[in-house]
Structure 1
């Protein structure tokens, strides 16, 4: 057991060092997600041959166990009562946006004849919460024949990061231009922009345009809570798709005789953390610390995902996948905007 743990240390150390580098670059250039940078670092070191054989076991752990630990901790960001305080109209907008965007994305991916994993992961990242959602779904999705889930995840993360960044600039400006109320702008940003960090940035742009500082602060809070309402739906979506994927591939039993649970254990852990946050009043220092740890774990996992990417193979579907990400980003914005006019 000890020897097995030692075998994994070099790869985990390499992933940690690369994650620290990605995090430092993100601090210097805030518009660049640390997770996206980590993906590219992983791709770079893989394709120039900088990953020694001794690091492979640890990289595999970073791409699976470390990733799932990050998903579990992500649950402590979410308080269900806080989401419900937005009102049932906003909850309906969140649900409609997630469901409509996901279904439309699947249909578009099939229409464009994109590989299965690319389609599912791009749909998940666009509908839920960008890179973190792609990472969570990548733990249960199964690729088509000869399709690498790591390469599909890298493509999906690049797509949702790019169009989420465009969205954080366009949505606040467009909300002002079409005359939405500050509360509606906050809901729209939270429902239409992909990453949590991008939502915070977009809400900050909208806040600066408000003459009343108190109204601006409420806009930011509304945007963030709306976004976290979308994240709440990550667990049921991963559980449903995980069951479908297991059934589709008939892989419910492992070679050692154990069975794959219908609901993955890390999803149950995520839900447990949501419940803890919803029924307790955790100190802000605790939640901030957990968020930081979750970000570090996700960033390490993204290095491992990037290290599974072979550029020559990725080039064959990358362009079409980016096109899909752009179209589905627009679909998400339109569904949430229509929902705002009808329900809020």
Structure 2
């Protein structure tokens, strides 16, 4: 079973033993991307996690695939997160204006602290609450799994929260455009709200696409502003990670976070060919899709049924909190 803690003291798995699981994750990730291409409303993350859950609940997941799936949920995921750095265009974020940038910072900072406070009131274990707080406030499943890279959370907790990110983020993806229309907000204002409050990058793209016109660019730019804060948040949480006897403490700044920041700087300072950016974007999307499938596979069906009401309530509360914190973005743009 993959739903266990992953200490760093485990012996490395030989590369040939990882190959079946990596191939399975790659095939499932490719399927998820193909489905997204055919039906854009079905994001690759949603499809990949769903495929992983189906594989986990079927009871037919080959034992030989498990080492490779563990690698995909950890190392392949880190590749995907690191390559997110090339999607960030700092000039686009700064061009939003400092008031909107301040809203983005508030969404992440207050979203995390507020979710942790609500988690304490609901009695949610602190590590689970932190996964929800970061995933819902920053960039969804990628943030959840990236946090796992610096905190070594339980695999089943990571998979539970990823599933909740997909469900709640998909609901927000559809709700924000509808509520924005009901409030009489212009499309670009609603797009800014979506970028500031919807969980996944892919979900924000769908929400912006529903609004049409220039709204998509606004939504993505605001969302990438939140993604930009992933590195400093991870660095702070890595420093504050509790030490576990007998387990090597993770580095203060994980390597994939360093690469993420480095690629942000490269994108901001070096003219890169469009072909290279497109290729990197394709690899990043494929890596995240494969990793999300592996995370779905890591969820024990019994653990999914045992997902307690407090954790579900925290996910719903975090979605509402981030939506409220992000709403000022709409009025900053409108103003």
TM-score, length-scaled by structure 1 = 0.86
Match of 2:64 among 29, 54, 60: 54
Matched, 1:80 2:90: yes
Match of 2:232 among 230, 236, 239: 236
Matched, 1:45 2:55: yes
Contact 2:49 2:292 in 1 (8 A): yes
Equivalent residue number for residue 185 of structure 1:
190
Equivalent residue number for residue 70 of structure 1:
80
Contact 2:56 2:301 in 1 (8 A): no
Deviation at 1:13, TM superposition (A): 1.2
Deviation at 1:182, TM superposition (A): 4.3
Q: How many residues align?
A: 322
Equivalent residue number for residue 17 of structure 1:
27
For 1:323 and 1:178, the matched residues in 2 are separated by 26
Matched, 1:126 2:120: no
User: Mapping of 1:84-233 within 5 angstroms?
Assistant: 84-143=94-153, 149-207=154-212, 216-217=213-214, 219-233=215-229
Question: Deviation per CA, 1:38-57, whole angstroms, max 9, x where unpaired?
Answer: 22323332343333333232
Equivalent residue number for residue 146 of structure 1:
none
For 1:318 and 1:35, the matched residues in 2 are separated by 23
Equivalent residue number for residue 4 of structure 2:
none
Deviation at 1:294, TM superposition (A): 0.8
Instruction: Check 1:117–1:33 CA distance in 2 against 1; reply closer, same or farther (3 A cut).
Output: farther
Gaps of 5+ in 1: 144-148, 208-215
Deviation at 1:181, TM superposition (A): 4.2
Equivalent residue number for residue 7 of structure 2:
none
For 1:337 and 1:54, the matched residues in 2 are separated by 47
Local SS of the residue matching 1:12: helix
For 2:43 and 2:323, the matched residues in 1 are separated by 21
Deviation at 1:158, TM superposition (A): 2.0
For 1:120 and 1:268, the matched residues in 2 are separated by 22
Contact 2:45 2:166 in 1 (8 A): no
Local SS of the residue matching 1:194: coil
For 1:41 and 1:169, the matched residues in 2 are separated by 22
For 1:250 and 1:199, the matched residues in 2 are separated by 37
Equivalent residue number for residue 334 of structure 1:
324
User: Mapping of 1:18-33 within 5 angstroms?
Assistant: 18-33=28-43
Equivalent residue number for residue 249 of structure 1:
243
Contact 2:165 2:199 in 1 (8 A): yes
Equivalent residue number for residue 324 of structure 1:
314
Moved more, 232-241 or 323-332: 323-332
TM-score, length-scaled by structure 2 = 0.88
Deviation at 1:260, TM superposition (A): 2.9
For 1:26 and 1:323, the matched residues in 2 are separated by 29
Q: CA RMSD in A?
A: 2.3
For 1:73 and 1:220, the matched residues in 2 are separated by 21
